[in-house]
Chains A and B, each alone.
Chain A
Amino acid sequence: MIVRYESWGAWVKLESQPAIVALDRDGVRALGLDGGPAWLEGASVGGPIEVHMAVTARCGAGCEGCYLDARPDGVEPPRETLLGELDALRDAGVFTVAFGGGEPTTRDDLDVLAEDARARGITPVLTTSGLGLTDARLEKLRGFAQVNVSYDGASETYASVRGFDGAAAAERAIERLARAGMRVGVNVVLTRESFPRVHETLARARDLGACEAQLLRYKPAGRAASLDYLARRLTLDQARSLGPTLRELAHTLCATGDFHVRIDCALVAFLSADAELANDPARLTRLGVFGCEAGGALAAFTVDGRVSPCSFAFPTELRATELVDHGGDAVLTRWRAYLDSPAEPCASCSLRSVCKGGCKVVATHVDGVHGPDPECPRVVAFRQESRRESAS
């Protein structure tokens, strides 16, 4: 296992099973270890445990909502540049690197990069569209701990999210990766059109051999940062129904333990509408649910080598190769600081410590401020009530 001391104890990445564990100081001492300088008053803030690295801006898929605005002629940094960034991840004690872009499988050196990451003690994972996944390209993915294929549903549903029907190619990729013995998951973007079919989408992915599905909120970044976003985002009723939907998916698809459902950081805010979950934040914390960790447990590297709080946020001035200095970056500090004194209704929310205010990228796009997530059902209700009070 790999231990990284934090002011509160330590993060521990296990090697015998895919898990990252937070231990308190007593737990660390029980391992025969001591945090030393990390446990002293005023020690540096902990850095990211997971970094999303854009290894190319090249992609021919042309998804309408691409958050990176990737194109067929997008730039592709040389391996030497990425090696410097992997060194920075090692120096910062990062546990996991997720390669994306752009379409990462367009790189010829992916297998080597996976080895480069592992040689630095970092677990490499990857997201692909599955388009153009030749046998040769597939073989280059064996070094990754998991490969996720973007799959929003069967043909019409897929096309409603991405603007073209790539479902068959994605399904073939899932099936081939699973048959090749690789751990494969799917990324499912939830829009108001794909959400009603999420059960059949996940069931299909599981049948094809996927071991996991990650549900993703549609976010206004890159080509999705347009007025069209408002017509594609989940409706308020859909946001409110996320908790019951997850409950149903867990009971029907995950009972045997060989298939798991994840939600992304931005969806956690919607759990505020589910009383059972909202009233038990300690359970969410213990079972590792992360809300907005941008600038905290999460960071992203842009294709031109800058650090961003997350893949959807504007980059900071901090160079990726200087990630170890993240604690002194003013922008990252501001993102982390939101939790210290959030505005209402986040301030009085039971999920505050887990959700951390919801998606700031959405808030900035919709409200123009780095504030409460305007699509969170609790925030919507709070604002409606405020308007009623103002009117009366």
Chain B
Amino acid sequence: MSGGTREPEVDQILRVRTGHGANCSSIGSVVDTLFATAIVSAAVFAAVLAALKTEDVKVVSPLARSRDSEAKSRKEKGA
């Protein structure tokens, strides 16, 4: 899916985790934005909204994979 009319709103964003975070032992969170001005925070969310409206969409479905896995397991057990 790409393009189309997409109008997500800022209130529909529950959280934004910025950056990659390359630590291999603990999950990390950017915190300097906690102390930034409201303008900086708003800019972060505005950039995210812009990307949500324009980027091509690919859906991944671990739930389906999990069901496949369960079915395979049942088959192997002869159920």
Contacts and interface: CB of A to CB of B under 8 A. Distances in A.
Contact of A126 (B19, B22, B57): B22
Contact of A26 (B5, B12, B32, B59): B12
B69 A31 contact: no
Determine the interface band of chain B, counting residues with CB < 8 A from chain A.
35 or more
Contacts of A19: 16-19, 48, 51
Contact of B56 (A1, A187, A324): A1
A23 B17 contact: no
A86 interface: no
Contacts of B66: 44, 324-325, 327
A146 B60 CA distance: 23
B26 A311 contact: yes
B71 interface: no
Contacts of A123: 20
A104 B56 CA distance: 33
A287 B27 contact: no
Interface residues of A, number: 99
Contact of A98 (B17, B22, B34, B35): B22
A266 B26 contact: yes
Contacts of A38: 63
Contacts of A158: none
B55 A93 contact: no
Interface stretch (A4-12, A108-116, A343-351, A369-377): A4-12
A263 B28 CA distance: 5
B73 to A, nearest CB: 8
Contact of B20 (A53, A67, A145): A145
A53 B24 CA distance: 7
Given A2-B60, A12-B52, A249 B28 contact: no
22 contacts: A2-B59, A4-B59, A15-B56, A21-B15, A24-B13, A27-B13, A31-B52, A32-B5, A33-B59, A92-B65, A126-B24, A145-B20, A148-B22, A251-B35, A253-B32, A260-B19, A264-B27, A264-B28, A285-B14, A290-B27, A298-B27, A324-B69
**3 closest A-B pairs by CB:** A100-B24, A27-B12, A288-B17
